[in-house]
Structure 1
Amino acid sequence: MADSAPEAVEVNRAGVLEGLPHGFLGRRGGVSTGLVAGLNVGFGAGDDPEAVAQNRHRAGEAVLPGAPLVAVHQVHSAICVTVEEPWDDTRRPTADALVTARPGTLIGIVTADCAPILFADREVGVIGAAHAGWRGAHGGVAEATIEAMEALGARRDRIAAAIGPCIAQASYEVGEDFRANFTPQDSRFFVSGMLGHFQFALESYVAARLEAAGIGQVEGLGLDTYALEERFFSFRRSTHRAEPNYGRQFSLIGLPFSI
């Protein structure tokens, strides 16, 4: 398969991470076709494995050319692993966050409505990436990532964190059973919708967890994966359409080869 695409890979960047190789990618710029047309990087999307491999390569080259791209097998946990040496996609550990201090390394997580978080302490050269769906965020995946970064020498008041494209409150209807997982203090992240239903603000909830953990800078990009169909894949949108599968997008951050 030729390494070409109808358009360039779209890379959304955060101001708090300016100057570091990073990007929140979407579906633009890939070679997949059909239901997951575009830059699908998910192995579980029912896509052509060759197309997925090419998309993952294209994604990495758009953020930190030549760097090994390290990812994990995500399960909505609060587990964070430390990357000391890169591994390939056939040896991905089960986790939902990664941290590293290894120059010339690119780490990433996949999402399709959940909130991707990218972290960096520039002063010591420590970075992290976390997959924060509501379960992971509620379970402490952001806090686990911060602690793992601290073990590598980071300091939480120096860490900058950016929350990438995820499902927005207007698109995220939930029921009473979902609301029951949260404390009364979390009521500010819910607004009433249809009878017995609420709209949940995932990005705001994740940002509040980060701020409560003492992170120095927090930025949310405010991009709704559900509503912006031409730019992003969305699990919930595909579910509402009774589609058999859905694409996944990458969020990546790396350390330059010399820092």
Structure 2
Amino acid sequence: MAVEVIQSGVLRKVAHGFLGRKGGVSTGIYAGLNVGLGAEDARESVIANRLLGVQSVLPGAMLARVHQFHSADVVQVDNAISQDDPPQGDAMVTDRPNVLLGIVTADCVPVLFADTDAGVIGAAHAGWKGAIHGVLENTINAMEKLGAQAGRISCAIGPCIAQKSYEVDEGFFRNFVEHTASNERFFADGKAGHYQFDIEGYVAARLAAAGIRTVECLGEDTYSQPDRFFSYRRSCHLGEPGYGRQLSLIGLHP
């Protein structure tokens, strides 16, 4: 089965792709294109899947990644990054051609950024912790240091958990509303004492507030499409011992 590469119209001038689980060599609960070494999948399968991902988006490019930990930290990529010991962070920026910035997710929000006039790109892993603490704004700031301008940056928000699938409790809701009162608009009533959180809408709003004029939300729910995407929350609900991760990539053509 071929690797599924989901693309955004607003990023058509750069090499990019949001990859799901289709294609790949992993088996069992990780079947398909699992790219997460944190999973209990065979290392050789994960490495092979990463290579398949690179070949599907920008053949021959160097894959750059970070050790993600739900932070707001951004890494500027200037040179090769070790695949075994990558720097810690949850976003990357670069102005170097033939480098693919790769973010892994399994419900959290992957965001790809590009200022094609400046030749500067970025990629961010925006879970709720990273998003509320500024990973998106920090990525924009890091791009601007390389010559980008917020008003010229286009962003695409890839597959993530949808509001209908993202139930949170009262404490989670209060945390967001106490941070910024207007955040209440991203929550719909759920069962007693619970809410449904629109993390995709929240991320899009943060980008707009930071000066990004062009944002495309792909609207793909990771939780409800088990044949296409890995999902941390779905795996937990199914009682599975682990879960796969999917890869989102962006790069500048050489």
1:109 aligns with 2:109: no
- Over the aligned positions, Cα root-mean-square deviation in angstroms equals 0.6
1:235 aligns with 2:254: no
State the match for 1:3 in structure 2.
none
1:254 aligns with 2:221: no
Q: How far 1:180 moved relative to its partner?
A: 1.4
Q: Which amino acid aligns with 2:44?
A: E
Q: Which amino acid aligns with 1:28?
A: K
Q: Secondary structure at the match of 1:180?
A: helix
State the match for 1:4 in structure 2.
none
Alignment of 1:171-186 (within 5 A): 171-183=165-177, 184-186=181-183
2 CA distance for matches of 1:196 and 1:91?
A: 42
State the match for 1:215 in structure 2.
212
2 CA distance for matches of 1:115 and 1:87?
A: 23
Structure 1 segments of 4+ aligned residues over 2 angstroms from their partners: none
Instruction: Give the aligned length.
Output: 251
1:188 aligns with 2:221: no
- 2:131 corresponds, among 119, 133, 137, to 137
State the match for 1:163 in structure 2.
157
1:148-201 per-residue CA deviation (whole Å, 9 max, x = no partner) reads: 000000000000000000000000000001111112211110000000000000
2 CA distance for matches of 1:8 and 1:88?
A: 27
1:222-259 per-residue CA deviation (whole Å, 9 max, x = no partner) reads: 000000110000000000011110000000000111xx
- Normalized against structure 2, the TM-score is what? 0.98
State the match for 1:67 in structure 2.
61
1:119 aligns with 2:113: yes
1:200-222 per-residue CA deviation (whole Å, 9 max, x = no partner) reads: 00100000000000012111000
Q: Secondary structure at the match of 2:70?
A: coil
- 1:224 corresponds, among 221, 224, 241, to 221
Q: Secondary structure at the match of 1:181?
A: helix
Q: How far 1:91 moved relative to its partner?
A: 2.5
Q: Which amino acid aligns with 1:87?
A: I
State the match for 2:194 in structure 1.
197
1:93-148 per-residue CA deviation (whole Å, 9 max, x = no partner) reads: 01000000001111110000000000000001000000001111111100000000
Is the 2:157–2:217 contact (alpha carbons within 8 Å) kept by the matching residues of 1?
yes
State the match for 1:95 in structure 2.
89
2 CA distance for matches of 1:88 and 1:107?
A: 13
Q: Which amino acid aligns with 2:158?
A: G
Q: Is there any run of 5+ residues in structure 2 with no aligned partner, and where?
A: none
Q: Is there any run of 5+ residues in structure 1 with no aligned partner, and where?
A: 1-6
Q: Which amino acid aligns with 1:199?
A: Q
